[in-house]
Amino acid sequence: MAVNGFGDFTEMHTSFLQEIANMGAGNAATALSTLISSATDISVPNVKIMPAAEAAALADTLSSRTAAYLITLSGDIKGSLLFVIPFAFAERLVQTYFPDVTITARENIDEMAVSVIKEAVNIVAASYANNFAIISGMMVDISVPQAVTAPSQDIIAVNGAGSANLCFINNSIEITDCKRSFNVLFYPELSTIKKFMGTVGIPCE
């Protein structure tokens, strides 16, 4: 069956997305663990296909309540990674280097904290994205992290311009010593994810 939109995805397609997201999150969690010298764990990835407007509105809602950062994927694989970082997790992350920091709101995130958070996001995103390149042999680049409170228009521009639906895969990564976690939402662009699936024998045409 031809895949003309995310609404045409079968269980086979969504299961594949879930599996590659699981591997990507595993690599990302390992990189984070090294960065903060603490054990980490990941959730089972959750694949969602939703009307574009609804998915975009959800991204804005999640980002408005947290420290959120958006990364754009380019090259052979296009898409977006949205990092939704609760203030409690941001606090634990920054305290790795600055133990006296307290973060309970966006106003507490000063330049020093932003630098730590962005570096962590960049390292985790690179580990997540490199997994796609390793599996498929395709090239993928990532942008610098961009702090966002309403990323919907950026997400739609990269992943869903003119599309009825968006697909996103939600992973949670937790620091096990304090049970604080954050979420990574991967929004793939349809045509490049179809090419990706084609390289590993998943039919999309």
Query: Is 21 or 2 the better-scoring residue by pLDDT?
Result: 21
Q: pLDDT by residue (tens digit) across 154-177?
A: 888 877 666 788 999 999 999 998
Q: pLDDT by residue (tens digit) across 49-77?
A: 999 889 989 999 999 989 999 999 999 98
* Predicted structure pTM score: 0.93
Alpha-carbon gap, residue 108 to 176, rounded angstroms:
24
Alpha-carbon gap, residue 82 to 164, rounded angstroms:
20
